[in-house]
Structure 1
């Protein structure tokens, strides 16, 4: 995702673990509301959020009570 970064907080696999998304200016953003669905001008590549990473059964939840919608 060009122009976006992720900030990790707390230890992975802990209940306190969070991922916060940032735009190119460093502002916290919502991965659902602030990142466009299309990743390219041709509209044939999509951005997506994965709650269950590949080859795992560790489900990640999106926090709906925080404005930035951390994962």
Structure 2
């Protein structure tokens, strides 16, 4: 099974960090992408951390669509 690991260094201020976990080209009328059993932790943080998963598809001519999942509070 494919696995990945990533670590982000966050600054001591509010903000948004984006982490790309997969990229690829696709063509045709229909494509399915699925992520399952994704886990995350936040350490050395004062207060809650919110994670909002999303998928963005961008076509060759620049058209794009983004869909967001439920916000996770860590």
Q: Provide the TM-score with structure 2 as the length reference.
A: 0.31
Q: Which has the higher contact order (CA 8 A, sep 6+)?
A: 1
